[in-house]
Amino acid sequence: MKHPQIARSTAIIAAACCAFILISCSAFTRSLEKPTLDIVDFRVLEARLLEQRYSLVFRVKNPNAMDLPVTGVHYNLKLEGEDFANGVSSKPFLVPAYGESEFEIEVTTSLFRIIQQLASLMSQPPKELNYEIRGQIRVDKVFIGNLAFNSKGKIQMPKATIQQ
C-alpha cells in the first residue's frame, strides 16, 4: 500500500520541479532586453551592370548583464523606406555584457531591385540615407535562442557622391 503512495508523491514532486524550471526559464528569457543594431560602414565593393556587391559593417549593442555568443544573424535592410537587401550570416561573434561588437557582411543586390531607388536618388542626391534594419540574432545559450532587433538610423553619404 505504501508503494503506490510513494510513486504518486514522486510523480507530483517531479511535475512540480518541471513546472518550476519552465516558469523560471520563461521569466529569464522575458527579462532580456533586445539588442540594437546600427550600420557603421557601407561600401560599394563591386558594381556590375546587373548586380552590385556591398560591404555592410554593423555594430551590435548588448543592454543585458550577460555575454551574447551570436552564431547567426537574419536581417532585412530598407533604405529610404524601400527594401534594399536581406540575408543571413553564420559568422560567429561575441557581444559582451553591457558592451558592443562589430561584424561585417557582404550583400548582393540586382539592378532591377534598386533601379527605382537609384532614379530617385540621382535626381536629388541626399546627404544621408534613412535606413531601417530588422531581424533576429541567434544566441548560443540555453533557453535564449533568437533575439529580435529593429533599428533605424541614417547613413552619411560620401562627399564624392553628393552633387552641389
d(CA 125, CA 161): 8
Residues 8 and 62 in one domain: no
State the cell numbers at 7: 510513486
Number of domains the chain contains:
2
Residues 20 and 64 in one domain: no
Quote the pLDDT of residue 85. Answer: 83
Burial class (CB in 10 A: 0-12, 13-18, 19+), 112: exposed
Residues 132 and 91 in one domain: yes
d(CA 163, CA 140): 46
pTM above 0.85, yes or no: no
Quote the pLDDT of residue 26. Answer: 45
Residues 40 and 64 in one domain: yes
CB 156 within 8 A of CB 39: no
What is the span of the domain harbouring residue 145? Answer: 34-161
Longest dimension (CA), the chain: 93
The parts of the chain modelled with pLDDT lower than 70 are 1-30, 112-126, 157-164
